[in-house]
Amino acid sequence: MLRNWRANRIVFFFVCMFLCGGLIIISAAGTIAPVEGVLATPLNFLSGIFNDISQTVNSAITDLSEIQELRQRNAELEEALAQFQAELVGLREINSDYQRLSDLLEYTTSVQNQEFVTADVINFDQSSLLRTIVINRGARDGIARGMPVVTRQGLVGRIVEVSASASRVLLINDPSSYVSARLQTSRAEGSVEGQLTGNLRMIDIPLNADVREGDLVLTSGLGGNFPADIVIGQVTSTRQFEFELNQEAEVRSLINFDTLEFVLVVTSFQPVDISVFENEDAQNP
Amino acid sequence: MGNFLSLPILMIAAALQTSLTKQIRLLGGEPDLVFLLVLSWSINSELEQSVVWAFIGGICLDLLSGAPMGASIPGMLILIFGVSGLGQQVYRIGIVILVGLVLIGTLVQQIIFMGIIALTGQRVLWFESLTYVTLPTILYNLLFIIPVYWFVRRIQNGLSRRQIKS
C-alpha cells in the first residue's frame, strides 16, 4: 500500500510537471494570450490598488525626507546668514571707522602749523556729575596735561590726566569745564561752561553784543588753555537779564559726545600757566 | 476549503509582491510572498491541496510578470513534493528545517525559473542573477517566513476547528 502511494506520488509529480511544461510551452507560443489577458485583469486591478498605496506611502516618505533635508538646508542657510550678517556688521564698522578717520585726516591736513596724535576712545565716564573720556594715548605718545582734544566737528575737551599709555580727557560739557570763547560774527568774548544736563552755555557775553541764533562759537585763545579759533558749537538761544551786566547764550556742540570713537590730541599746543599772574594780583590788590 | 481560500490569498499576495514589496527591494531581491505562502501551506497540508496552491500561486505570479505562464510553478512543485516526502520522514518540521527549506527552496525555485526563462529564449546572466537577485531574495524570505508561516497556521487552525465543529 505504502509502495503504491509512493509510486502514485511520483506519478502525480510527473503529471504535475508535465502539465506545467505544457502550460509553459503554450504560453510561450502565445496560444493562450487572450486567456492570460482575461485572467490577469483582476490581478492587475489589485496590483494597481497596491501600487497606488505604495506610491502614496513612498511619496509621503519622500516628502518627509525632503522636509528633513529642507530643515537641514534651512539651518545651514540660517547659519550662513548669521555669518554674513556678522561680516556685514564688521564691514559697516570698518566703513564707519574709515569715514571718521578720513574726516580727521582731512581736518589735520587743513589745519596748518599744528601737530596731532590720533587716539581711540577706550572709556566713557559721562554721568551728570563728571564727563570725561579715556583715550588710548599717553605720555609715551607725547601727550601732556592740558593739551586740547578736538575732532573735525570741533573742540572735545582737554587732557587732565596722563598715564604712560592712556589719558583722561575732560569734556567741554563737564560742569567744571570753562573755555574762553568768542562769537564768530560779533567777536564778543565770553566763557563756555558745561552744564549738569550735558549742554553748553556761553556766559559773560557783554550786553551790547549782538548775539544771534546760529552764530558759531569759537575758542578765543584767551587764558592760554586752548588755541584760538577752534569751533565749540552754535548758539541756539540767548538770555538777557535786566539786573545783570552780561548776557548768556545756549550753545549746542556739533559733537555727539556719547558716540565719540576717534579724537585728535593737539600735541603742538602747550597750555600757558597764567596762575602766577593771578597770584600776584591777589597779593597786590 | 483550503483550495477555495488559495485564490484570494494568493491573488493578493501576488499583487502585493509586484507592487508594495518592490519598495523594499534590496539590490534586485524582494520577498517572494507567493513562494512563502505555498511553502507554509504545504508544511501542514495535504499534497493535493499544496499542488493547487502552487499552481494558483505560480499562475498569479506569471500573469503579473513577463514570464510565460507556469514558469514559477515547477520550482514550487519540487519544493512541496520535497516537503511532503520530508513530512513522512520527520516527526514535525521545526524552525531549523523551515529555515533550511526556505534557503534551499528559494535557490531551487530561482534557478528553475531562470532555467525556464533561458529555455524560452531569453538571455539570463546566471552569476549576476544569483548574486544580485537570488541572494537578497533568500535573505528576505528568511526574514518573512516567520510572519507568513504564523499567518498560514492561523488560517489552517481556523479551518480545522470549523471542520471539527461541522
Interval B76-131: pLDDT, tens? 999 988 888 887 776 677 788 888 889 999 999 989 988 888 888 777 788 888 88
Distance CA B91, CA A262 (A): 100
**What class has domain A116-270?**
mainly beta
Residues of B in contact with A43 (CB under 8 A): 11, 14-15, 60, 63-64
In this predicted model, what pLDDT tens digit does every residue of A217-239 receive, in sequence order? 999 888 888 888 889 999 999 88
Distance CA A204, CA A170 (A): 22
Residue with cell 559773560: A204
Domain ranges of chain B: 2-152
Residue with cell 575732532: A151
Query: Considering the entire predicted model, what is its pTM?
Result: 0.52
Asked if the interface predicted TM-score (ipTM) of this complex is over 0.95, the answer is no
The enclosing H or E element of A147 equals none
Residues of A in contact with B70 (CB under 8 A): 20-21, 23-24, 27
User: A125 - beta bridge partners?
Assistant: A132
Question: Taking phi first (over 0 means left), then psi (-120 to 50 degrees means alpha), and beta for anything else, what does residue A161 get?
Answer: beta
User: A247 - beta bridge partners?
Assistant: A205, A240
How far is the CA of B23 from the CAs of A7, A51, A61, B140, in angstroms?
45, 10, 11, 13
Inter-chain contact B64–A40, Cβ cutoff 8 Å? Answer: yes
Residues of B in contact with A47 (CB under 8 A): 14-15, 18-19, 64
- Residue ranges of E strands in A145-258: 148-151, 154-162, 167-171, 178-183, 189-194, 200-206, 216-219, 231-240, 246-252
User: Do the beta carbons of residue A154 and residue A230 sit within 8 Å?
Assistant: yes
Residue B163 has φ and ψ, to the nearest 5°, of -65, -40
The enclosing H or E element of B61 equals helix B47-64
Inter-chain contact A57–B23, Cβ cutoff 8 Å? Answer: yes
